[in-house]
Amino acid sequence: MVKDDMKRFIYVSLMTMVSLSAMCQETYVNANLTGSDLRGTARYVGMGGSMDALGADLSTVSSNPAGTAFFRRSAGAVTMGLDMQTGVEKFEDAKRSHVSFDQAGFVYSKQVNEDVWLNMALNYHQSKDLSMIVNAAGWLTNGSSQGRVSYDKGAIGGVVGLSNVQPSSRHPLGEEVYSYNLAFNQLDWLYYNSVVYNPVVDPQAPFMYHGAQLYDYGSSQRGFISDYDLNMSVNVHDRFYAGLTFGIKDVHYRNLTEYAELYGPNAANVEGVYLEDYRKIRGAGYDMALGVIVRPIDASPFRVGMTIKSPTFYDLKSENYTAMMVGVRPGSTTYQGPTVLDIENRYDFSLYTPWIFGLSVGHTIGKEIALGASVDYADYRYTNNRIEDNDDYYYYYYGYDDYTHADRAMNHNTKSVMRGVLTLKVGGEIKLLPQLAMRVGYNYVSPKYKSSGYKDGMLYSIGNNFMSTTDYTNWSSTQRVTAGLGYMGKDFSVDVAYQYSQTDGTFHPFHDACDVTNVAMPTNVSNKRHHVMMTLGCKF
């Protein structure tokens, strides 16, 4: 692989840039924190999550809060699972399988009078598993390289030029390139101060780029988003069911990226570069959901459900450490820059996800068959990237409106990258015996990303200013197939389920918004996952 070739050229020297502060984030990174997987109890997953109108399952606390109103006895459940990713190479210390704590909760059911039941539920579930390995490698043509992306920003003017070369005791050449333009990001600083600015080769034209021939990429994304939901629901005459859920989300996200480029012959005798980026995001958010289910015909078990979920209002903290290593041909005198250069940042930002609207139907046939279907819609074009107002620098550019306000440039980019997403869930359950049930389900999730979307490094945005990776993947639709079995005793139940999901995508190592001829060849990637789980439940 190219990365292994690169490491043979690298020897160590160190230079560090002091950490800075920022108050926003970038579209593709934020998109990782939006949406949810199919997670919950084994019964819920086995039926493909199609229980939003059927109810009587703890996982409906978040998908349709009215679903808990169908409980007539108090109940509890705990779910564990095993998640496995296939079709990828092992990357660093990342594991392709891991144990997951999927769900734990209970519902307390109280009959108020002959026609009214009032229930309260508390439930934890892992709404999104962020663990994923991505491998990609390919050719670079037309002199393409991320170094050229940085070079092109200077070539068009306004971002960086000779006026940005400043005296510096930290740099081997005694000079450092730095720009206060918000389009000049962490990677531009690394490239300019390693391979783009080189007054040794030509003092009259010190800015240069080196055409790359190959790239190699690997990333290990780990973590999860946990939901802690408090729910209250009411059942009126077994005809009208309503519920309200208040949720708190806990975010744990880590990502290690390694990227290498092998250069062709060049005047500076640079063989190539190797980048390593480590990013961690922690924080919390809150949201609310309102749901109703109605049986329109008294003599029929057919029911219709509706759900409205508010945005999740996130307050998050991000930190990254990014290092560049430069491979130089032995004996070269035309490269005198650092062979290792690094940068790190820590900052706070806010993120508001879009509203979610859902419709569902459910029907039972006797006590043997249950059928359900639901459709949800969320428009991710309206994901709101926000800036915190606590620094005079940001006041100068944006003004104080509130504690946070929208990053208009990044939100405009989000509209050009993201889509509205439709999630279809269908499933059913049949009792083979009075105590034994078999379940199947299917999900289709439409693409969240436009195929023409790209990570725009030219945005005049604080989120772009502190960007530390250039790669992006436009993932297409997701399909899930599920199956399960359940044993239901009088007071005790055991459920098992299996889920297979697949999402294909197109990986791009970078995009040059300044020069349409500087194009990197995309690579097809896929996220294929197997998930097995077991739920132990009881009624009391």
Burial of 522 (0-12, 13-18, 19+ CB in 10 A): middle
pTM above 0.85, yes or no: yes
Q: Across the chain, what does the average pLDDT equal?
A: 89
pLDDT level of residue 145 (50, 70, 90 thresholds): confident
Res 462: pLDDT = 82
Contact status, residue 507 vs residue 522, Cβ threshold 8 Å: yes
What is the mean predicted confidence (pLDDT) over 469-491? Answer: 95
Res 399: pLDDT = 42
Longest Cα pair distance anywhere in the chain, in angstroms? 91
pLDDT level of residue 395 (50, 70, 90 thresholds): very low
Burial of 451 (0-12, 13-18, 19+ CB in 10 A): exposed
- Of 31-40, 151-160, 334-343, 507-516, the range with the lowest mean pLDDT is 151-160
Comparing CA positions, the residue from 418, 421, 506, 417 lying closest to residue 455 is 417
**Amino acid residing at 97:** S
Q: What's the CA gap between 151 and 177, in Å, rounded?
A: 12
Res 82: pLDDT = 97
**Amino acid residing at 534:** M
- Where helices occur in 293-384 by DSSP H, the ranges are none
Burial of 110 (0-12, 13-18, 19+ CB in 10 A): exposed
What domains are defined for the chain? 2-539 (2.40.160.60)
Instruction: Please write the tens of the pLDDT for every residue from 227-243.
Output: 999 999 999 999 999 99
Q: What's the CA gap between 169 and 126, in Å, rounded?
A: 49
- Of 206-215, 275-284, 354-363, the range with the lowest mean pLDDT is 206-215
What is the mean predicted confidence (pLDDT) over 355-381? Answer: 97
**Amino acid residing at 76:** G
Q: What's the CA gap between 217 and 50, in Å, rounded?
A: 38
Of residues 141 and 160, which shows the higher confidence score? 160
Pairing of strands 116-129, 212-236: antiparallel
> Which residues make Cβ contacts (< 8 Å) with residue 133, sequence separation at least 6?
85, 88, 89, 90, 91, 94, 96, 218, 219, 220, 221
Q: What's the CA gap between 43 and 57, in Å, rounded?
A: 8
Contact status, residue 441 vs residue 498, Cβ threshold 8 Å: no
What is the mean predicted confidence (pLDDT) over 334-342? Answer: 90
